[in-house]
């Protein structure tokens, strides 16, 4: 098969999500972002949790940010919805809902099928390091309880 023919092969949604799950479970990159499925019984593989460790020398340093990623039936043709559960002050994040606003986060606006959840998390971490975000005052400590999940109570991980 020529490379032009290979480029036309479209991996089915569930195979793509299984690849992402496997990659997420193995651990990726430098360990500062991670992700996995919320519910192993979710046959549609729609609900995911992501984690970003706040980058050093920023207002986010020393914090762990939890996110929800929801891959609808159109994923990967359409981007997932991305919502911070941990409260965060960041230019592309709605301060009330925690939703990453596609209009303020070009990766979601200009979504391409080959982008992955890992790409989103890495890009959000890089966004934390930009000049307009790195020094933004963050919500006070102790305000880390997870946002209410519209599908039910949030699972808390405070020890």
**What is the per-residue pLDDT across 79-118, written as a single tens digit (0 to 9) for each?**
999 999 999 999 999 999 999 999 999 999 999 999 999 9
List the 33-37 sheet strands across, edge first.
Answer: 33-37, 47-53, 64-70, 81-84
What is the phi/psi pair of residue 90, to 5°? -150, 140
**What is the per-residue pLDDT across 144-159, written as a single tens digit (0 to 9) for each?**
454 444 444 443 333 3
**What is the per-residue pLDDT across 7-17, written as a single tens digit (0 to 9) for each?**
668 889 999 99
Characterize the bridge pairing of strands 47-53 and 33-37.
antiparallel
pLDDT band per the 50, 70, 90 thresholds, residue 26:
confident
Residues 144, 140: Cα–Cα separation, whole Å: 8
Q: Is the pLDDT at 25 greater than 90, yes or no?
A: no
The answer to whether the beta carbons of residues 82 and 67 sit under 8 Å apart is yes
Kindly state the average pLDDT of the residues 50-62: 96
Q: Is the pLDDT at 140 greater than 90, yes or no?
A: no
């Amino acid at each position: 098969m020529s490379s032009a023919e290979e480029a036309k092969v479209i991996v089915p949604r569930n195979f793509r999500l299984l690849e992402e799950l496997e990659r997420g479970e193995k651990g990726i990159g430098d360990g500062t972002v991670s992700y996995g499925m919320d519910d192993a019984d979710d046959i549609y593989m729609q609900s995911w949790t992501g984690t970003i460790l706040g980058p050093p020398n920023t207002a986010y340093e020393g914090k762990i940010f939890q996110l929800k990623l929801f891959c609808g039936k159109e994923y990967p043709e359409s981007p997932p919805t991305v919502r911070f559960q941990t409260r965060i002050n960041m230019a592309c994040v709605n301060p009330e809902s925690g939703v990453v606003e596609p209009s303020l986060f070009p990766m979601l606006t200009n979504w391409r099928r080959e982008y992955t959840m890992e790409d989103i998390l890495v890009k959000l971490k890089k966004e934390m390091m930009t000049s307009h975000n790195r020094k933004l005052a963050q919500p006070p400590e102790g305000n880390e309880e997870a946002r209410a999940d519209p599908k039910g109570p949030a699972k808390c991980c405070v020890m």
